[in-house]
Amino acid sequence: MREILICPSMMCADFSNLKNEVEQLDKAGADIFHIDIMDGSFVPNFGMGLQDFELVRKITNKLVDVHLMINNPSEYIEKFIDLGADIIYIHPESDNQITRTLETIKNKGKKSGIAINPGTSIGNIEELLFLVNYVMVMTVNPGFAGQKYLNFVDRKIEKLLSIKSNYDFEIMVDGAVSPEKIKELSKKGVKGFVLGTSALFGKRKSYLELIEKYREYNIYD
């Protein structure tokens, strides 16, 4: 039996009351706070800023990850490590020296991750799997909340699950993850779920009620 990881996507939180949002999610049992950083170039949007990251990091002792949807992420790795990021995700398309960047993250004592866009094949990143702790599969096109889950990406998740035993990484999914998808994919072996408006934010039930419900899905072989 393994427990799933619940990772609130803080870009979907109420920014006017971010401190309270973090406190409530922390108390509700969130495992990892997920912070999206965008530059308007690698993806056509902007996410959270350094001040938002610092606020989340200050309030919680839980793990905080940063998803760098930016060009040349190697230039910002040291900054986010200094600010207290526990896990750093980068996209293989965004860095010309991705192996060096992943090694830098690990050498600094942090967890490394790669994020795979819907159009990125497993074959393109397989040589990197020895260097990462997490593989985050994007199940929407990155950059915007409120999209529909891309079901064809499930084949990519199945492929990762089939080769996972050869490596030492956990599989995460990010993008329009519904309660049904949490249940389906957790039973197959997916470890972590980045949750936004499809399963966590803007619901009638409290964060505690929702997270406890999703914990019921965490029993799988």
Question: For 71-130, how does the pLDDT look when each residue is reduced to its tens digit (9 = 90+)?
Answer: 999 999 999 999 999 999 999 999 999 999 999 999 999 999 999 999 999 999 999 999
Query: How far, CA to CA in Å, does 56 sit from each of 4, 6, 14, 51, 215?
Result: 22, 16, 13, 9, 23
Domains and CATH numbers, the chain: 5-205 (3.20.20.70)
Say what the pLDDT of residue 42 is: 85
φ, ψ dihedrals at 94, nearest 5°: -95, -5
Global pTM exceeds 0.75: yes
Nearest to 74 by CA among 42, 53, 96, 93: 96
Assess whether 14 carries a catalytic annotation.
no
* Catalytically annotated residue among 26, 31, 36, 154: 36
Assess whether 65 carries a catalytic annotation.
no
Residue 83 three-state SS: helix
Q: Which residue has the tokens 């899905």?
A: 217
- Share of residues in the chain with pLDDT > 90 (%): 88
* Catalytically annotated residue among 52, 65, 95, 174: 174
CA distance linking residue 49 with residue 68, whole number of Å: 11
φ, ψ dihedrals at 199, nearest 5°: -140, -15
